[in-house]
Amino acid sequence: MLVVMKAQATQEEIQKVCEHIEQLGFRAHPMPGATRTAIGITGNQGMVESGTLEELSGVAEVIAVSKPYKLVSRDVKEDDTVIGFPGTNATIGGRDLAMIAGPCSIESREQAFAVAEQVAAAGAQFFRGGAYKPRTSPYAFQGLGEQALKIMAEIRERFGLRIVTEAIDNEALELVDRYADVIQIGARNMQNYSLLRAAGKKRKPVLLKRGMSATLEEFLMAAEYVMSEGNYQVILCERGVRTFADHTRNTLDLSIVPAVQRLSHLPILVDPSHGTGKRNKVLPLARAAVAVGADGILVEVHHQPDKALSDGAQSIYPEQFAQLMDEASQIAAILRRNVPRGIEIKEKAGAISAVR
């Protein structure tokens, strides 16, 4: 169910409707929009009796949502969700594209800083590195854990880059939430409902990767799990699905970008690294992702990919990332979008300094 408030409804009226919904034993999710606020109702098994809700002051209408996903839907929120990072000019969603780059794994302080320096110089606003790695083999490098999180926190201090990193389980989630700016949930965990709920209880944005055989509906329902707990800052990410094709690691399904944008207000990024598994295919697919309308790119970059402890074959060189930034800017301009260069940190005193 969805309560659509009148355009001129006051905060107090919105608050009263939310309280009424909670008194009925349901959960209220107010979603402010450009023209009006809608309040999603979850926790109900069937229809909520809409009569009294309709009578409350400021309510325009009460409508049944027929789709299984509610809070992710454009029915609840018409305009695109734009996620901001307080104290910076970085956003995910909206006109500016989010360029997220870094090594698959944080291997050492030297390695992480070498890559961070170069992606920052090329204009990235987000640095992504793995601290906890979901590896196919239990004998493969599993990540440096908290040590890697500390290195990334230093990188944020030094370069201003906002930090994205994966939480593979509930234990890692607590630490990732403490150190990072964005919590990544990986493809293998897209349907780990207890982890999704736990991430939904956090207040940092959640970057949710598509499961390797997930349908569009399953993908959106996974996002719904996070949002149903009250965390509305969800970023979707297409990273390729499994098919019969064996010339690439996965098959990057770019058609999901417009499909998601039609149904949902959430931003959707594309990861051409895991999507192809091959360095020579990363730039072409990244260009295509920008052209198809993705809200940003998540890409693996390593200064010495031959020595990488994970995903070296799909990691691009820093120079290739710089080239990608230029090409993405040009393609984005055709779509009247923008690739911001560098992150601006608004210091506590209010001064603005560009970190490049």
Report how many residues bind ligand PEP under the rule CB under 6 A. Answer: 9
Q: According to the binding rule CB under 6 A, does residue 249 interact with ligand PEP?
A: no
96's contact among ligand PEP, Mn ion, none, with CB below 5 to 8 A by partner kind, is: none
Rounded CA separation 182/166 (Å): 9
Of 29, 239, 249, 279, the residue at the interface with ligand PEP (CB under 6 A) is: 239
Q: According to the binding rule CB under 6 A, does residue 277 interact with ligand PEP?
A: no
How much is the CA Rg of the chain, to the nearest whole Å?
21
Angle ∠(147,235,154) on CA atoms, nearest 5:
25
What are the angstrom distances between the C-alpha of 105 and each of 18, 122, 131, 253? 43, 20, 6, 24
Of 202, 209, 249, 265, the residue at the interface with ligand PEP (CB under 6 A) is: 209
Rounded CA separation 229/211 (Å): 21
Rounded CA separation 118/110 (Å): 13
Under DSSP, is residue 210 helix (H, G, I), strand (E, B) or coil?
coil
Q: According to the binding rule CB under 5 A, does residue 183 interact with Mn ion?
A: no
4 or 237, CB closer to ligand PEP? Answer: 237
Q: Which of 221, 222, 174 is nearest to 201 (CA)?
A: 174
Q: Closest residue to Mn ion, Cβ-based?
A: 104
Q: Name the one residue in this structure whose structure tokens are 């402890």.
A: 309
Q: According to the binding rule CB under 6 A, does residue 176 interact with ligand PEP?
A: no
Q: According to the binding rule CB under 5 A, does residue 104 interact with Mn ion?
A: yes
Q: Which stretch binds ligand PEP (CB under 6 A): 110-118, 148-156, 180-188, 312-320?
A: 180-188
Burial class (CB in 10 A: 0-12, 13-18, 19+), 169: middle
Q: Which of 15, 4, 65 is nearest to 37 (CA)?
A: 4
Q: What is the closest distance, in whole angstroms, from the C-beta atom of residue 104 to Mn ion in the complex?
A: 3
> Do residues 73 and 65 lie in contact, with contact meaning Cβ atoms separated by under 8 Å?
yes
Of 5, 38, 104, 256, the residue at the interface with ligand PEP (CB under 6 A) is: 104
Q: Which stretch binds Mn ion (CB under 5 A): 172-180, 235-243, 305-313, 332-340?
A: 305-313
Site string for ligand PEP, 131-170 (x = CB under 6 A): ---x------------------------------------
209 or 265, CB closer to ligand PEP? Answer: 209
40 or 240, CB closer to ligand PEP? Answer: 240
Rounded CA separation 161/343 (Å): 7
Q: What is the closest distance, in whole angstroms, from the C-beta atom of residue 75 to Mn ion in the complex?
A: 35
Q: According to the binding rule CB under 5 A, does residue 115 interact with Mn ion?
A: no
Q: According to the binding rule CB under 6 A, does residue 312 interact with ligand PEP?
A: no
Q: According to the binding rule CB under 6 A, does residue 83 interact with ligand PEP?
A: no
> Do residues 103 and 112 lie in contact, with contact meaning Cβ atoms separated by under 8 Å?
yes
Of 123, 130, 143, 318, the residue at the interface with ligand PEP (CB under 6 A) is: 130
Q: Which stretch binds ligand PEP (CB under 6 A): 18-26, 182-190, 198-206, 222-230?
A: 182-190
Q: What is the closest distance, in whole angstroms, from the C-beta atom of residue 28 to ligand PEP in the complex?
A: 33
Sign, CA torsion 308/314/319/324: negative
104 or 257, CB closer to Mn ion? Answer: 104
DSSP letters for 51-117: HHHHHSTTEEEEE---SS--TTBTTT--SPP-EE-TTBS-EESSSBPEEEEE-SB---HHHHHHHHH
Rounded CA separation 99/119 (Å): 10
Of 29, 77, 249, 274, the residue at the interface with ligand PEP (CB under 6 A) is: 274
Contacting positions for ligand PEP (CB under 6 A): 104, 130, 134, 186-188, 209, 239, 274
